[in-house]
Structure 1
Amino acid sequence: MPANSVVLGAGGFIGRSLVVELLRRGQEVAAAVHGSGDRLTRWLAEQQVDTGRLTVVHADITRPGLGLPERGLEDVRDVYNTAARFAFGIDPAEARAVNVDGAAHVIEWAAALPHLRRVVHISGYRMAAADADSPDYRRDGAYEASKREGDATARARARELGVPLSVANPSTVIGPGQYVGLADLVGELWRGRLAALPGGPDIFLPVVELTYFVRFLASLPEHPASADSTYWVLDDTTPPLPELVSLLAGHMGVRAPRRFVPIPLLKRLPRALTQADPETLSFLSTDRYDTSPAREFARSCGLEMPPVGEALREWADDLVAARFGRVRPPGAPYGFQQVGKDRTWVVGDRQRPDYVFLHGLPIDADSWSEVTARVDAPSLAADLPGFGRSAPSRQSHDDWLAAFLAPLGNRPVLVAHSYSCGPALRYALRYPERVGALVLVSPAFLQPPSSWLMRSPLAVPALRRMTAERLAGSLGLPHDGYLEGPVADLRRSGAAVRVVAALRSAYGQRGALLSALQRVEVPVELVVGERDPLAEPTGLPVTEIASAGHYPQLTHPGEVARHLVTVRERAAAR
């Protein structure tokens, strides 16, 4: 199919979102990727994008001619170069091949197009630095120096060949999938390892939101006046770095550092101590940038930046959901919310869920994801306060659960696993009119305290050093990608201590919970694994899942989901 736009680097963070924007504008797009394109097409399918006007082609911008097919691109009017080698510590030759030679090759290829309207080249906001015209690979590092050299090269070749060129100089582009640069600092903050901030109180690390930026890019060729123009695209209202970090810390429920380390000292300290690549230090400055042309152009196109605080908080949610690029985020709505006194990680529908899921330990809300996908109904889950991604608790779990479920406008099936069976049972006893049914999965208070977490005096340091594979073996689970998240959470400050303390204290409540089980008015059902039978008789209905252990929702999600659907149908019929 003929294309009128080509996006080079279409498999990247910015490129793929630009493809979506162009398709939604009704354009016929050639997405040029360095590879098969399968990852891009899968991502587009996940975003539910209509790809009827899309063609995926292979490209290699390090080669003259870009390695593009000779036929099918004759009608291209607009060329977007989003391709770049974005990494720190790379070899200068590797950086130059993409960021310098590649930029020239794109201009040269576009110059031969018979219907060319515009080339849009993405550079960087540090092109406005005082020494931007004299890139120094030793001083700046391979990435920054090559981007500066590539910027000058693209402009020079465009002038020589008469190519209409628009240059966009973005700051850090934030949005789902951005895991480098500023994201590294946010990751250290999240893990409790950011003891001090680099520089001083006036450091300015501006951001720009992804959707706004790709709409800006897509609009450039539509306006003739933007040809041969350069735009610094960033949000001037981005707070100085200390305020930015405080905003994110408050949102995530972690402590913000208050001390500073001067940049000259940072440059002298070993990387093993700073955990920062020396190349990133060139971005730490108090410089400001002339964004008036970009703001005027945006106004002429009807574009408006989202509030920067809102954009930063949503990005933080995306980073934590994806474990900073290690896992795929859930499909349901997610993010940090205030629940009573606690910042809580919440996933799903907090208004009218058919099911509410509470996790056990040392796992998290994502342990229910395979079950929620199978029940095919609105669901709600959260990381308990003090565990997983939620902040340390400032209230009892009983009070937290009451606050968590207070907004609900219906009577859901409340499903709890192991440790959470205690708070869930007490909630059902206290608020029977708010619960349709109670399902206790592997209730800890009905089983012997045999876990090594209960017995070993070395449980806390063992949890801190745990790998996903070792945790899986300890819990009797298959080793899969899910446990990477809980393992990362256990390494956060105080997390392992809280897990062990909670499990040990819970077993002191066994008698009270057995009594509550006999008094609760809500219909109660028990679900256990064949290999993890109950130690206490209850007289209640028990569903035993063949060959399952203590975590049937992880090992046998289909069987658990089928039973929960039956429970919900019975609750709805009452």
Structure 2
Amino acid sequence: MPVNSVVFGAGGFIGRSLVLELLGRGEEVAAAVHGGGDRLTRWLTDRGAATGRLTVLTADITRPGLGLPEQGLDEVRDVYNTAARFAFGMSPDEARAVNVTGAVRVAEWAAARPRLRRLVHISGYRMAAAGADRPDYARDGAYEASKREGDAAVRGRARELGVPLTVVNPATVAGPGQYVGLADLVGQLWRGRLAALPGGPDVFLPVVELGYLVRFLASLPGQPESAEGTYWLLDEATPALPGLIAFLAEHMGVPAPRRSVPVEVLKRLPRAVTKADPETLSFLSTDRYDTSSARSLAESAGLEMPPVHEVLRRWADDLVASRFGLSPAPAPPYGFQQVGADRTWVTGDREAPDHVFLHGLPVDADSWAPVAARTGGRTLAADLPGFGRSGLPRQSHDAWLTALLAPVRGRPVLVAHSYSCGPALRYALRYPDRVGALVLVSPAFLQPASSWPTRSPLAVPVLRTMSAERLADSLGLPHDGSLDGAVANLRRAGAALRVVAALRSAYRQRGPLREALGQVACPVELVVGALDPLEEPSSLPVTEIASAGHYPQLTHPDEVAALLVAVRERTAAR
């Protein structure tokens, strides 16, 4: 099967999305990756790609000949180089190996293709900045300097060899999988650690949406006028940095910094104070770039940029969903939504869920993911305001729950764990006709008072600094990574304090909640672990899960899910 297009760096953030776009256009694509291609193939398959037209090749662009076979690629028309070493703190030799030497070798390999139509090379956004033609590794850092040197080297070698070259200079590419650069600032903002903005009011860090970028790249070889062209790809509607950060802060429900620190001052401060790699400071600029040629070319290809504020919202959701690259994102839909007065992290269906899940502490809505995946129905889960990934609280949890369930049609099964059993019970008392059944899992108000870890005067600092392993030990859970997200949440500013305060408050409500339990009109079922029993017998139906503790949804998801499916079926039959 003849290959039409080759994508170097196909396993990377941009490269894999470009492969997906080309396959969607019916191209026969060779994906050149450094290492095995199983991960790329799985990623493409998960997104519905038809991989029958895909050939995965192992390549090393730092070697002469790129490590590719000498036969079988003579039909290649279009060569895309998305490969780059994008990291801060590299040595010059490490950066030059890929960004300079490797980029030139791709150009040389492309020149040997007898049917070559185009070489598309992704360069750097700052290529038109002052001094870009004189890369300085001491001044700019290895990444930026190597991209500048590589840009000039590729252009020069392409001219020597007569290679039809198109260069694209994208700004920060916003999309799932982008965790460096501007994403670092977003992470600091979400964690409550961005005390001041770097730079002044006119700093411009533009973005371009990933899907738009790869559609633009894929369209270039078919447009003869783009040969020998250079295109700056960015959304000029991106707000200046203070406005961008303020917008994202509002979206995520966190405070925006009100102060700023000039770049020249930041450069003099030690890294321990700024929390930023010095190389990132070169991107803090007020420079603007001429995008007219890119806009004209995009219009001729029928491409239109999506609204930048929607791009920023989706990207922030993706960053938080993946814990800024530390864990896989859950299945969509997910993201921040307005729930009453609170910005809330929500996953699932807010209109017609079969089950609604409320988490306990110190975990978040992801603690229900193993169970939700086994119920086979529509689910809704959310992080309580002030906890997990949600923003700071502005209303009571009771008012929040009422707002969360306001759009729900039908009568779902309301499932709550530990701390959340209180708000869930009070909701069922107020709105019995909106709840099909109430399932209380490890209801703290019916169990012996625990000392974990709220009674100690050191509870807050201890909780804030716990490792995932230590937290698992304290909760009686295995070291299986299920608490990595909880630990990340507890490192947010004020999060540990809010958890301790909430647990202390919950224990003061034990008596009123026990009295209220007997007044609920809808069916109620209790679920406890055999290692974490009720303090005294209950007249309500109780399911005890053998060998489970306080978190059966994490340790015994099959048993909990089977029970919830049975409750849903009984509710539907009523």
Shift of 1:43: 1.5
Superposed, 1:491-506 pairs within 5 Å as 491-506=491-506
Q: How far 1:232 sits from its partner (Å)? A: 0.4
Residue 482 of structure 1 and its aligned partner are, at CA, apart by: 2.3
Match of 2:254 in 1: 254
Q: Counterpart of 1:107?
A: 107
- Aligned amino acid, residue 415 of structure 1: V
- Is 1:373 aligned to residue 378 of structure 2? no
Q: 2:342 and 2:387 mapped to 1: Cα distance?
A: 12
Deviations 1:275-296 (A, max 9, x none): 1111111111111000000000
Q: How does 1:479-558 map to 2 (within 5 A)?
A: 479-558=479-558
| Matched residue SS, 2:64 | coil
What are the residue-to-residue correspondences of 1:40-439 with 2, within 5 Å? 40-439=40-439
- Among all aligned residue pairs of Structure 1 and Structure 2, give the percentage whose two residues are the same amino acid: 77
Paired with 1:366 and 1:496, the residues of 2 have a C-alpha distance of 18
In structure 1, the partner of 2:468 is 468
- Give how far 1:173 is off: 0.4
In structure 1, the partner of 2:9 is 9
RMSD: 0.9
Q: How many residues align?
A: 574
Contact kept, 8 Å, 1:327 with 1:481, in 2: the verdict is: no
- Taking structure 1 as the reference length, the TM-score comes to 0.99
Deviates more, 1:536-545 or 1:177-186: 536-545
1: CA distance, partners of 2:482 / 2:188: 21
Cα distance in structure 2, aligned partners of 1:481 and 1:44: 26
1:470 alignment partner AA: R
Q: What is the alpha-carbon distance in structure 2 between the residues aligned to residue 481 and residue 148 of structure 1?
A: 41
Deviation at 1:455, TM superposition (A): 2.7
The match for 1:573 is 573
| Matches of 1:217 and 1:172, distance apart in 2 | 15
Deviations 1:110-150 (A, max 9, x none): 11111111000000120010211111111111100100010
Q: Which portions of structure 1, spanning 4 or more consecutive aligned residues, are displaced by more than 4 angstroms?
A: none
Which range moves more in the overlay, 67-76 or 254-263? 67-76
Task: Tell me the SS of whatever aligns to 1:14.
Answer: helix
Question: How far off is 1:460 after superposition?
Answer: 1.0
Measure how far apart 1:48 and its partner are: 2.6
Residues in 1 aligned to 2:414 and 2:399: alpha-carbon distance in whole angstroms: 16
Single out whichever of 63-72 and 18-27 deviates more from structure 2. Answer: 63-72
How far the C-alpha of 1:538 sits from its partner, in A, is 2.0
Q: What letter is aligned with 1:383?
A: D
After superposition, the C-alpha distances for 1:18-40 in whole angstroms (9 at most, x for unaligned) are: 01000101111111000011221
Q: Secondary structure at the match of 1:167?
A: strand
Q: Which residue of 2 aligns with 1:29?
A: 29
Helix, strand or coil: the match of 1:66?
A: helix
Q: What is the CA–CA distance in structure 1 between the aligned matches of 2:282 and 2:498, rounded to whole Å?
A: 39
Which residue identity lines up with residue 144 of structure 1 in the other structure?
E
TM-score (norm 2): 0.99
Letter in 2 for 1:328: P
Query: What's the CA shift for 1:313?
Result: 0.9
Q: Secondary structure at the match of 1:343?
A: strand
Give the aligned residue type for 1:285: S
Task: Give the letter aligned to residue 394 of structure 2.
Answer: R
> Take 1:166 and 1:113, find their aligned partners in 2: how far apart are those partners?
16
Stretches of structure 1 that go unaligned for 5 or more consecutive residues are none
One-letter amino acid of the structure 2 residue matched with residue 276 of structure 1: A
Confirm or deny: 8 A CA contact 1:358 1:365 kept in the other structure: yes
Shift of 1:199: 1.1
Contiguous gaps of at least 5 residues in structure 2:
none
Structure 1 distance, partners of 2:541, 2:548, is: 18
